[in-house]
């Protein structure tokens, strides 16, 4: 599976993660889904209500509003973004929640080396996605 994102989206997510570090940053990802690829069209940055350095949780009102808006604009829920204090790989907590969220994509930023990686649960196993970054950064 391929996840298409723009340079600007990644830059904005990295900025958010840097601004609230060491707390995990988080966001919801919406866009389009085809059998072999998903494209991020909208990122909804959300407050980590846990204010944790190792876990994130998004307020249910933010979920509801974001899903309602996405539905109005014919966008599908793609998954989540969050930052990690270490590598950009799913933690044991992430793996648990990945099982619960089915096909949701998990885009992770390593706060230590600023690398992004994306994962999806398939047949009970976490699989890395191909990240295709497009467009130019607007300053």
The residue ranges of every structural domain in the chain are 2-134
Do residues 17 and 3 make contact, with C-beta atoms less than 8 angstroms apart? no
Residue 135: predicted pLDDT: 86
Do residues 39 and 2 make contact, with C-beta atoms less than 8 angstroms apart? no
Across 20-34, average pLDDT: 97
Cβ neighbourhood burial of 124 (10 Å; 0-12, 13-18, 19+) = exposed
53-83 pLDDT, tens per residue? 999 999 999 999 999 999 999 999 999 999 9
Give the C-alpha separation, 119 to 112, whole Å: 19
Structural domain 2-134, CATH architecture:
3-Layer(aba) Sandwich (3.40)
pLDDT of 139 > 90? The answer is: no
- What's the pTM? 0.95
35-39, 44-48, 64-68, 134-138, range with the lowest pLDDT: 134-138
Across 108-119, average pLDDT: 95
DSSP code for 136: -
Across 102-113, average pLDDT: 94
Q: For the chain, what is the mean pLDDT?
A: 95
Give the C-alpha separation, 56 to 110, whole Å: 14
Across 121-137, average pLDDT: 91
């Amino acid at each position: 599976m391929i996840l298409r994102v723009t340079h600007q989206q990644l830059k904005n997510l990295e900025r958010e993660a840097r601004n609230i570090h060491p707390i995990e940053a988080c966001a919801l990802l919406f866009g389009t889904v085809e059998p072999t690829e998903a494209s991020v069209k909208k990122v909804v940055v959300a407050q980590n209500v846990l204010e944790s350095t190792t876990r994130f949780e998004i307020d249910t009102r933010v979920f509801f509003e974001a899903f309602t808006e996405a539905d109005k604009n014919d966008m599908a829920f793609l998954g989540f973004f969050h930052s990690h204090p270490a590598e950009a790989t799913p933690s044991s907590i992430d793996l648990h929640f990945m099982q619960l969220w089915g096909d949701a994509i998990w885009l992770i930023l390593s706060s230590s080396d600023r690398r992004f990686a994306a994962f999806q649960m398939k047949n009970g196993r976490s699989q890395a996605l191909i990240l295709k970054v497009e467009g130019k950064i607007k300053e």
